[in-house]
Amino acid sequence: MSVVRLEVDGGIGTIRLDRPPMNALDSGVAADLRAAAVEATRNPAIRAVVLYGGEKVFAAGADIKQMAPMGYAEASAWVGDLNSTFEVVARIPKPVVAAVTGYALGGGLELALCADVRVFADNAKVGQPEILLGVIPGAGGTQRLPRLIGPGRAKDLIFSGRQVRADEAAEIGLADVVVPAAEVLDRAREIAGRYTAGPAMALAAAKQAVDDGSELALAEALRLEAALFAGLFATEDRRIGMESFLAHGPGKADFTGR
């Protein structure tokens, strides 16, 4: 039975982790998560994505029981697989919102970092506790976290392994929105829903421009942006958007996603 489900409703694909009690990440979760992310990418009925671990916990990290007996070769293969899975999630060419309740630790936080927007419950506790096990984050924590909150703050969390509550997460830019726990999924869906009627290819291009451009020198990033901009002139939505603007003003286009 799959421990990750993809549920589609109203243009939103919700990727739900369901491995009680703590959604620990093992090879089975990674395989199912990759399959769900691939389907969310391919399915044209899905226009935005929500990552969700349930009402009590997002994901408490890697399955240490599976990890503890590993040697170098096994650990290298395991973390490589998890890292590539998270890259598939991060590369979903649609807006992705993480709905974080309870714990998001280690690999759980690294998964949330793959999203474009993070909605935290007021009971959320997040962190990168790998240092307390004698290792470091291996699925994006040392790379995505400093790009989001800055290297100094990221080093504090990674060096100490401490857990951060929702209010501090908001202060340092790790959480975009904090709401009561009972409202997390609804708020995440509300944010994702803002984009379901938007121009899908332009949204994908915008995401690529920001994500890939941040890794390039400014001159290269500007060339990437210009190329993506020009490419959108081959889309139906560009025609619809500009014709609607000229006829009715901004914000009234009925996009097709093509």
Q: Tokens 């060339």 map to which residue?
A: 223
7 catalytic residue (yes or no): no
Question: Which one from 40, 59, 62, 166 is the annotated catalytic residue?
Answer: 62
For residue 130, indicate whether it is catalytic.
Answer: yes
Spatial separation of the C-alpha atoms in residues 41 and 240, rounded to whole Å: 23
Which residues, other chains included, contact 189 with Cβ-Cβ below 8 Å and sequence gap of 6+? 12, 14, 50, 97, 99
Does residue 220 have an active-site annotation? no
Residue in 36, 53, 98, 110 annotated catalytic = 110
Q: Which tokens is 147 given?
A: 């790009």
And the tokens for 83? 């890292």
- Given the residues 127, 130, 241, 253, select the one marked as catalytic: 130
**Distance between CA atoms of 48 and 203, rounded to whole angstroms?**
10
Q: How many CA atoms lie within 13 A of 237 on its CB side?
A: 18
Given the residues 107, 140, 141, 257, select the one marked as catalytic.
Answer: 107
Pairing label, strands 125-127, 164-165: antiparallel
62 has catalytic annotation: yes
Whether 80 and 106 have beta carbons less than 8 Å apart is answered as no
**Active-site residue numbers?**
62, 107, 110, 130
